[in-house]
Amino acid sequence: MTKQDLAALLASITPPDAAAANQFAERCERVVERVDALMLARPDLDALIGVLNHAQMHRNHRHHGAFMASLFADYDASRLLETVLWVLPVYQVQGFTLGYWEAQLAAWQTALAELLDADVWQQIAPIYAWIHEHLDAFHRLGLEDQANLNQAFQLFGDRSGDQMMMRIIQTTPLAFCITDEQGFFEYTNPAYCTFYGYSPVELIGEHFTKIVHPAARQQLIELHDQFIAGAGEIRGEWAVIDRTGSSRYVLADAVRILGGDGRPRKVTFIVDITQRKETEIALRESQARFARLTSQLGDRLFFFTNAPDGRLLYLSEGFKPLLGGVSPEEAIGQCWRDLADWSPESRASVSEEHWSRLLQADANARFELSFRHPDGDWRQLEVHACRIFDQQRELELIEGIALDVTEQRAQDARLRTLMRAVEQAPVSITVTDTQGDILYVNPYFTQLSGYSSEEAIGKNMLFLQSGEHEQAFYQQMWATLEGGETWRGELINQNKQGRRYWVDAAISPVFDDQGVLRNYVAVKQDIKDRKELERIREDVERIMRHDLKAPLHPIINLPELLLMDDSLSAEQRQDIDLIRQSGRDMLDLIDRSLDLFKMESGQFCYRASHVDLIKIVQTACTFIAEPLSRKQLRLVLRHNDQALPLESAATSAPGAVMVAAEAGLLLSMLGNLLTNAVEASPPGETLRLDIREQGADGKVDAGTDAGTDAESDAGTNDRVLLDICNRGAVPAPVRERFFDKYCTHGKPNGTGLGTYSAKLMADTMGFRLSMSTSDAEDRTCIHLRMPASHR
307/284 Cα distance (integer angstroms): 26
Mean pLDDT of the 625-638 span? 91
Q: Is the dihedral of CA 627, 628, 631, 632 positive or negative?
A: negative
Please answer whether residues 284 and 278 qualify as being in contact, where contact means their C-beta atoms are separated by less than 8 angstroms. no
Q: How confident is the model at residue 96 (pLDDT cuts 50, 70, 90)?
A: confident
Q: How confident is the model at residue 201 (pLDDT cuts 50, 70, 90)?
A: confident
620/674 Cα distance (integer angstroms): 8
Of 472 and 717, the structure prediction assigns the larger pLDDT to: 472
Residues 6+ apart with CB under 8 A from 331: 312, 315, 319, 325, 339
Q: Provide the pLDDT for residue 711.
A: 40
204/212 Cα distance (integer angstroms): 15
Please report the DSSP string for 353-374 in residue order: IIHHHHHHT-SEEEEEEEEE-T
- Nearest to 627, CA basis, from 690, 670, 572, 676: 676
Please answer whether residues 731 and 745 qualify as being in contact, where contact means their C-beta atoms are separated by less than 8 angstroms. yes
Mean pLDDT of the 436-443 span? 94
Please answer whether residues 675 and 623 qualify as being in contact, where contact means their C-beta atoms are separated by less than 8 angstroms. yes
124 three-state secondary structure = helix
Please answer whether residues 77 and 85 qualify as being in contact, where contact means their C-beta atoms are separated by less than 8 angstroms. no
92 three-state secondary structure = helix
Q: pLDDT, tens digit, for every residue of 280-339?
A: 888 888 878 877 777 777 678 888 888 888 888 888 888 888 888 788 888 888 888 888
Assess whether pLDDT exceeds 50 at residue 627.
Answer: yes
Question: Per DSSP, what are the bridge partners of residue 381?
Answer: 369, 404
146/159 Cα distance (integer angstroms): 16
Q: By percentage, how much of the chain surpasses pLDDT 90? A: 36
Q: Is the dihedral of CA 668, 669, 671, 672 positive or negative?
A: positive
381/318 Cα distance (integer angstroms): 12
777/764 Cα distance (integer angstroms): 32
Residues 6+ apart with CB under 8 A from 707: 723, 770, 772, 781, 783
Q: How confident is the model at residue 776 (pLDDT cuts 50, 70, 90)?
A: very high
- Nearest to 639, CA basis, from 685, 687, 714, 693: 693
Residues 6+ apart with CB under 8 A from 267: 176, 177, 178, 254, 255, 256, 257
Tell me what the pLDDT averaged over the chain comes to.
83
Mean pLDDT of the 665-688 span? 92
Question: Per DSSP, what are the bridge partners of residue 305?
Answer: 314, 399
User: What is the CB neighbour count within 10 angstroms for residue 418?
Assistant: 10
Q: pLDDT, tens digit, for every residue of 363-400?
A: 788 888 899 988 888 999 998 888 888 877 778 888 88
Q: Provide the pLDDT for residue 692.
A: 93
Residue 653, classified by CB atoms within 10 Å of its CB into exposed (0-12), middle (13-18) or buried (19+), is middle
Most confident of 68-77, 431-440, 554-563, 577-586: 431-440
Mean pLDDT of the 701-728 span? 63
Mean pLDDT of the 716-729 span? 88
Q: Please give the backbone phi and psi of residue 736, each rounded to the nearest 5 degrees, phi first.
A: -70, -20
Please answer whether residues 268 and 253 qualify as being in contact, where contact means their C-beta atoms are separated by less than 8 angstroms. yes
Assess whether pLDDT exceeds 70 at residue 712.
Answer: no
**CA-based end-to-end distance of the chain:** 145
Please answer whether residues 298 and 290 qualify as being in contact, where contact means their C-beta atoms are separated by less than 8 angstroms. no
Total-model pTM? 0.39
CA distances from residue 221 to 234, 249, 254, 545 in whole angstroms, order as listed: 11, 18, 14, 111
In the 3-class helix/strand/coil scheme, how is 306-335 assigned residue by residue?
ECCCCEEEEECCCHHHHHCCCCHHHHCCCE
What radius of gyration, in Å, describes the C-alpha atoms of the chain? Answer: 55
Q: How confident is the model at residue 709 (pLDDT cuts 50, 70, 90)?
A: very low
Q: Provide the pLDDT for residue 143.
A: 63
Cα 151 to its chain centre, rounded Å, is 80
Q: How confident is the model at residue 745 (pLDDT cuts 50, 70, 90)?
A: low
What type of residue is 195? F
Please answer whether residues 150 and 163 qualify as being in contact, where contact means their C-beta atoms are separated by less than 8 angstroms. yes
Strands laid side by side in the 500-511 sheet: 438-441, 428-432, 517-526, 500-511, 487-494
Q: pLDDT, tens digit, for every residue of 125-168?
A: 999 999 999 888 887 786 665 554 444 344 334 444 455 555 55
Assess whether pLDDT exceeds 80 at residue 556.
Answer: no
Q: Please give the backbone phi and psi of residue 441, each rounded to the nearest 5 degrees, phi first.
A: -135, 145
Q: pLDDT, tens digit, for every residue of 33-45?
A: 999 999 999 999 9
Assess whether pLDDT exceeds 80 at residue 541.
Answer: no
Question: Per DSSP, what are the bridge partners of residue 207?
Answer: 184
Q: Provide the pLDDT for residue 768.
A: 95
- Nearest to 666, CA basis, from 585, 728, 735: 585
Q: pLDDT, tens digit, for every residue of 211-270?
A: 999 999 999 999 999 888 887 777 888 999 998 888 999 988 888 887 778 788 888 988
Please report the DSSP string for 627-641 in residue order: HHHHTT-EEEEEETT
519/512 Cα distance (integer angstroms): 9
243 three-state secondary structure = coil
